[in-house]
Amino acid sequence: MRCPHCGNFDDKVIESRTLANGEAIRRRRECNGCGFRFTSYERIEDQQFMVIKRNGRREPFDREKIERGVQRALEKRPVSQMIIESLVNEVEDITAIMGKGGHEIDASVIGDLVLERLGALDRVAYIRFASVYRHFENLDEFIREIRQLGGAS
């Protein structure tokens, strides 16, 4: 694996950890050239399934898109990267199982899965994600969502 710091191809694996119910492996590596430490991931490459968007358009499932949305929602919140990875892995696992039958899944199902987990993890992140996902256009929609979240306690 090429070192992202110096470009050297000589490295050693320091630690390996199984993730996502055995579907992925996280490896901590150290470059033998410059000593830089970095992380790599190995995943089983399944047949790609499609996500059906609101407008009917279909696009390939993209784990990174979910991760970016969760990262943005949790920006400056007291949540570790390991918890974020775990949340994204859980959503990815569930969507993979749900999407296997017809090789398709509605984007709304994925969004609801993320919202459900964010609501249990961090309410500020939940509101941030919901405001984008549900396209809030005015203050009343924010207030309604906050009241609904408060009732879920």
Q: What is residue 125's predicted lDDT score, i.e. its pLDDT?
A: 92
Residues 20 and 62 in one domain: no
Task: List the chain residues with pLDDT less than 70.
Answer: 20, 45-47, 151-153
Tell me, what's the pLDDT at 16?
92
Residues 23, 79, single domain; the answer is no
Q: Do 51 and 58 contact (CB within 8 A), yes or no?
A: yes
Per-residue pLDDT at 45: 65
Which residue range(s) make up the domain with 123? Answer: 46-151
Q: Would the pTM of this model clear 0.95, i.e. be above it? A: no
Return d(Cα 109, Cα 132) in angstroms, integer.
15
> How far is it, in rounded angstroms, from Cα 85 to Cα 89?
6
Half-sphere exposure of 146 (CA within 13 A, CB side): 8
Q: Give the pLDDT score at 153.
A: 44
DSSP 3-state of 73: helix
64 shares a domain with 19: no
Query: Within this chain, do residues 37 and 112 fall inside the same structural domain, yes or no?
Result: no
